[in-house]
Structure 1
Amino acid sequence: MQAVKARRAVATIFFLLGTLIGIWASRIPDIKAVLGLDEAGFGLVLLAMALGAFFAFPIVGRQIDRIGAARMARWLAVLTLLLFVSLAAGTTVRIMVPLAFVAGFMIGALDIAMNAWGAEVEQALRKPVMSSYHGLYSLGAGVGAAAGAGAIRLGLSVPQHFVIWGLLMALMLAFALRVPWTSERQAPEKRKGPLLALPKGALFFVGIMALIAALGEGAVTDWAAVYQIEELGFGSSQSAIGFALFSVAMVIMRLSGDRLIARYGPVPVARLSGLAAAVGALFLVLGSHIWLIWVGCVVMGLGNAVIFPLAMSRAAADPVMSKGTALAAVATLGYGAFLFGPPVLGFIGTAVSLRAAFGLVAALAIFIFLLAGALKVERPDGT
């Protein structure tokens, strides 16, 4: 019974973080306009957020091993929500950049902690649930994006929008804070090692796969709307629909992912996903009609959906590295790309075009197909 309640608590935190990402994505064109920045300039804001997450990964990995994932996830969820609301105060670059750095730190730390807690619950339930967690994250992103489109139509300012949503999410988060759970802790002698640990062996290639999938997700989250508005000439409300469709596709695939992985195995599912991610990105590159762009968003969402959950489950089950360290190490490559990738794509968008940036995303997705075999867990004895 406790594991069932804990599963709901973890799911609540995944959903909450997804809504915050969706809200942020839906208001990027407005925030960019308020700051008076072009793609490269706003890329610096995203870079500050990425640096915050990068610094968070090794620190939170150590803390998970020391004090437990559940405690870390609860308090980080509260702090992340507060930082999200504070982003509305970033009306100048001087204010927004440090806010983005701290928000990125909290987002990155929460991502590791909630995945670690989710892995513990998954092991207690003795059945795969990690993909469904990430499905609820994607559902939250879709809800946030849809709410963002609604807020734009209602004429709500960014501060009004963020404060209202923050209050709603605080009510929901109160449930997760009350669920009891005792997390695993690593003995001090097992927590030794470099502060910034990179994935080792096959886990390195798992991290590369997560990097590519997260880059694709970040590209749609941060630049798809801008790409459709500024390079393809579509309206802001139409452009917001593309990200919503992308999120819905990810929800469907992730909620189905546990069953598909159990039936066919992680390697075949990952290979097919890589091909779909590449095809979907190509639709965005080649498409000039809004319906073709929307189809590309759907296919790209289906392709990227299960790669990151598979990478997190593989990291949590690694036979060599501790859970917190392994998750942080994979996230350094994988989730870091979700934050570091969009600034790079923004620079490419300024130097060449955002169409070229999405072309790069399509080419990289092929490597998911090539590296999928690394998802198989091999024990130290070779079994």
Structure 2
Amino acid sequence: MTAPLKDHASAARRVVSAIFFMCGTFIGMWASRIPHVKAATGLDESGFGLLLLVMACGAFVAFPLTGMMLDRLGAAPVTKILACANVMSFVLVGLAPSVPLLTLALFVAGFTFGALDVSMNGWGAEVETAYGKPIMSSYHGLFSLGAGAAALVGGLAIELGLSVAMHFSLWSVMIAPFLVWFWRQPWPQAVDKEKDGKAPLFALPKGALILVGLMALVAALGEGAMTDWAALYQIEDLGFSEAIAPTAFTVFSVAMVVMRLAGDQVIARFGPVLVARLSGLTAFAGCLLLVSGANIWAVWAGSFVMGLGYAVLFPLAMSRAASDQNMSKGSALAAVATLGYGAFLFGPPLLGFVGDLLSLRASFATVALCTLAIPFLAGALKVRS
């Protein structure tokens, strides 16, 4: 790694960490208000699932475009622009007065969020390379910390009777000063000049990266299920109150934070393959607890174990993509994100259809079965020269 990157690495790590945290707060904020938004629209699980599918479509469109931008412009400038756009998009979601306008706002939010997810992982991978040791898991730990904190604050906002518009707007105002700080952070552009302008519009993973993408897909499906349906599962299937329902996602996020902050050291000691296999088995056990839980303590225990299991899988997949030797970094990250993060957004709408046909308990049982594939896919994380 060149000297300029080493000189800026510490400051850039703080900025990238803050961006991950900020991104997580909007996910947690959105998760805490989903029951209210669903009630305001008057849609059932299938109809609301279609609305979530629009958000997923926005992200899906963003992935390949972001990959090209990373290869041509560099991750840092693209991330700074998208961080601002993401804040504004969630304000639009909160202000949308009707289902058609909410649909448009969710598409924009999905686009900016999906694009930011790819670009901030790209910038994070550059900083990780400058450090010469695993640090990607800690980024995602701060993402989960932001999500859990925002979900907890969301429960407070519900108790205070704040509208979704007021809640989202106030949160965005609090985020605004950090955007100025992001813009002031210099970082030498790391552009793949040999492949500049040659990246395809839609890149599919190649070779072992296909298995890495599938592992990210299964992990993101579990995260997406907890984000979008955990609260409704507790309210509609288990009969818990709306005020305490977001707590399960907070517990899930706390477990994610704990494991992700410790994950870099664990991965460095035991290797990504073994860590991923054990993580998959842990996530499966947590899913079973959640599905079979007849009281709030069982649900919280299952949520915590699921968080421990899913925590490092997506960071491992993104680090593996950034170091792939068969594709440019932008294309590889976009390809894995298309499968992985695409499942985070596309999965919940499909689980909503299962919930409408059977029950949300059946939706989480489906997640549990999918999680069993992770130990078999983990071998693809090994980088071969």
Q: Structure 1 length as normaliser, TM-score?
A: 0.97
Q: Distance in 1 between matches of 2:270 and 2:45?
A: 42
SS of the residue 1:233 aligns to = coil
Q: What secondary structure is seen at the aligned counterpart in 2 of 1:58?
A: helix
2:93 is equivalent to residue 97 of structure 1:
no
Q: Partners of 1:371 and 1:119 in 2: how far apart? A: 22
Count of residues in Structure 1 that have an aligned counterpart in Structure 2: 379
For 2:354, what is the secondary structure of its paired residue? helix
8 Å contact from structure 2 (residues 155, 244) kept in 1: no
The separation in 2 between residues aligned to 1:290 and 1:91, in whole angstroms, is 34
Equivalent positions of 1:2-13 (< 5 A) are 2-13=8-19
1:172 and 1:335 map into 2 onto residues whose CA distance is: 25
- CA distance in 1 between partners of 2:28 and 2:195 (Å): 41
Paired with 2:331 and 2:79, the residues of 1 have a C-alpha distance of 16
Q: 1:306 aligns with which of 312, 323, 331?
A: 312
The equivalent of 2:70 in structure 1 is 64
Please, which of 83, 86, 90 is the counterpart of residue 84 of structure 1? 90
* Distance across 2 between alignment mates of 1:20 and 1:189: 34
Structure 2 residue aligned with 1:185, among 191, 196, 213? 191
Q: Structure 1 vs Structure 2: percent identity of aligned residues? A: 59
2:68–2:200: 8 Å Cα contact kept in structure 1?
Answer: no
Residues 288, 365 of structure 2: 8 Å contact kept: yes
Conserved? CA contact 2:283–2:306, under 8 Å: yes
Distance 1:172 1:296 in 2: 35
**Alignment check: 8 A CA contact 2:195 2:328 kept:** no
Aligned equivalent of 1:375, options 373, 377, 381: 381
Q: Deviation of residue 37 (structure 1)?
A: 1.0
Aligned to 1:353: 359
Deviations 1:62-94 (A, max 9, x none): 010001100000010000000011101223211
Contact in 2 for aligned 1:120/1:183 (Cα 8 Å) = no
Shift of 1:173: 2.6
- Answering whether residue 350 of structure 2 is matched by residue 344 of structure 1, we say yes
Match of 2:169 among 156, 163, 173: 163
* Conserved? CA contact 2:204–2:335, under 8 Å: yes
Residues 157, 262 of structure 1: CA spacing in aligned structure 2 closer, same or farther, 3 A cutoff?
same
1:206 to 212, 223, 237: 212
Is this contact kept in 2: 1:61–1:328, CA < 8 A?
Answer: yes
Match of 2:338 among 329, 332, 338: 332
Correspondence for 1:119: 125
Instruction: For 1:37-52, list aligned pairs within 5 A.
Output: 37-52=43-58
1:33 aligns with 2:43: no
Which secondary structure state, in structure 2, belongs to the residue aligned with residue 364 of structure 1?
Answer: helix
Higher mean C-alpha displacement, 186-195 vs 122-131: 186-195
Pair 190,67 (structure 1): closer, same or farther in 2 beyond 3 Å: closer
Distance change in 2, residues 1:181/1:242 (3 Å): same
Opposite residue 198 of structure 2, the aligned amino acid is K
Residue type matched to 2:209 in 1?
Answer: L
- Supply the AA of the counterpart residue of 2:135: V
Deviation at 1:282, TM superposition (A): 1.0
Unpaired stretches in structure 1, ≥5 consecutive residues: none
Select the residue among 315, 325, 341 that pairs with 1:319: 325
Separation in 1 of the partners of 2:229 and 2:381?
A: 29
Counterpart CA distance in 1 for 2:143 and 2:255 is 12
For residue 30 of structure 2, give the secondary structure of its aligned residue in structure 1: helix
Q: Is the 8 A contact 2:230 2:249 kept in 1?
A: yes
SS of equivalent residue, structure 2 residue 125: helix
Instruction: Report what 1:278 is aligned to.
Output: 284
In structure 2, relative to structure 1, the CA distance for the partners of 1:193 and 1:61 (3 Å cut) is: closer
Correspondence for 2:4:
none
Does structure 1 residue 145 correspond to structure 2 residue 145?
no
CA distance in 2, matches of 1:290, 1:189: 53
**Deviation string, structure 1 residues 298-325 (Cα, Å, up to 9, x no partner):** 0000000000000000000001100000
1:19 to 19, 22, 25: 25
Preserved contact between residue 231 and residue 246 of structure 2 (Cα < 8 Å): yes
Q: CA deviation at 1:193?
A: 4.7
Aligned to 1:241: 247
Render the CA deviation track for 1:257-314: whole Å, top value 9, x for unaligned: 0000000000110000000111111111111111000000000000000000000000
Q: Which amino acid aligns with 1:97?
A: T
The one-character-per-residue Cα deviations of 1:204-263 (angstroms, maximum 9, x if unpaired) are: 000000000000000000000000001110011221110000000000000000000000
Q: Contact between 1:117 and 1:183, CA under 8 Å: does it hold in 2?
A: no
Q: 2:264 pairs with 258, 268, 273, which one?
A: 258
The 1-side partners of 2:225 and 2:56 are apart by 14
Contact 1:214 1:337 in 2 (8 A): yes
Counterpart-to-counterpart distance in 1, 2:197 and 2:287: 41
CA deviation string 1:91-144 (max 9, x = no partner): 321111111111100000000000000000111111211000000000000111
Between the aligned partners of 2:62 and 2:202, the Cα distance in structure 1 is: 10
